[in-house]
Amino acid sequence: MNSSDLKEEISDLKVKHNAIILAHNYQIDEVQEIADYTGDSFGLSKLAASTDAEIIVFCGVLFMAESAVILSPEKTVLQPDLQAGCPLADSITPEALQAKKKEYPEAVVVCYVNSSADVKALSDICCTSANAVKVVNSLAERQVLFVPDKNLAFYVAAHTKKEIIPWDGCCSIHHKVVVDDLYKQRKLHPDGIIVVHPECRPEVTALADFVGSTAEIIRFARETASNKLIIGTEIGTLYRLKNDNPHKEFHLVSEELICPDMKLNNLSKIRDALLNKQPQVNVPVQTRKEAFAALERMLQVNDY
């Protein structure tokens, strides 16, 4: 079946099942094209909770679909390819976090949304890459166990007086960007401005002109007077950047910025998910309630 037939079938199935399709900013172009909404993981989950759709097809990786379940337990959440996981989220198990908490009994546990429902459930409060600094600075405790991304933890540490204890995990894709990549791009595009994600190494974020989450990068690109941007986040983000700013030039800081997990979802898997109402993502009730509490606490500090 060709891609336009598939798109038509998906569109009919969506209406038939009262479903919406959410695509993370890192999804392949074709998936972003047919999505009802594109965005970052937390923004999409909040959006899912606010629609009256009964079925959410979440095109992203597992922790993202879990967040949608946590915020919308009454809806059916489908992930077209269940193999799409996140090595960063998998870098911490609930058991390992429990052990670390024992090592630092005074510390408050802040977990990045890029974590499993089980890890969220064991954390005091969640944060996104956009609000991590604000969340940490809002806390009464002096010592913060920050999981699972060490690069985001270093970024927060540079913007707070609190003691940050980073978990030793990272996004293997953003971590591939090195300062040499930035120097090379600056040479190639001397009038370009460098925009990177806070999951990049601290020496990379220190050199960038702007550091932000995907949603912040998308907003920044629209608002900046600059017409040439060098982008340090996953390649999928270019779809939205180019669509929003057809007159601007975008260059990826490194050709390595491709997340293989994010590329697992495609049109035929979305069609199959809608046809079979499978694969579904579920989170056990107790875990969901505890994880929800950590997300809700974040929302009280900052709703993004």
The residue ranges that bind ligand CIZ (CB under 6 A) are: 24-25, 40-42, 113-114, 128-129, 197, 213-215
Q: Which one-letter DSSP state was computed for residue 279?
A: S
The whole-angstrom separation of Cα 123 and Cα 25 is 26
Cβ closer to ligand CIZ: 127 or 267?
A: 127
Q: Which residues of 103-116 are buried (b: 16+ CB within 10 A; e: fewer)?
A: eeeebbbbbbbbbb
3 state SS of 41: helix
Cβ closer to ligand CIZ: 41 or 287?
A: 41
* Residue corresponding to tokens 């270093």: 154
Residue 196: in which H helix or E strand, if any? Answer: strand 193-196
Cβ closer to ligand CIZ: 71 or 215?
A: 215
The whole-angstrom separation of Cα 64 and Cα 66 is 5
* CB of 214 vs ligand CIZ, minimal distance in Å: 3
* CB of 242 vs ligand CIZ, minimal distance in Å: 17
Cβ closer to ligand CIZ: 13 or 68?
A: 68
Nearest to 63 by CA among 261, 217, 277: 261
* CB of 128 vs ligand CIZ, minimal distance in Å: 6
* CB of 275 vs ligand CIZ, minimal distance in Å: 27
Cβ closer to ligand CIZ: 41 or 72?
A: 41
* CB of 146 vs ligand CIZ, minimal distance in Å: 15
- Residue whose Cβ sits closest to ligand CIZ: 40
Is the distance from CB of 58 to CB of 40 less than 8 angstroms?
Answer: no
Is the distance from CB of 144 to CB of 106 less than 8 angstroms?
Answer: no
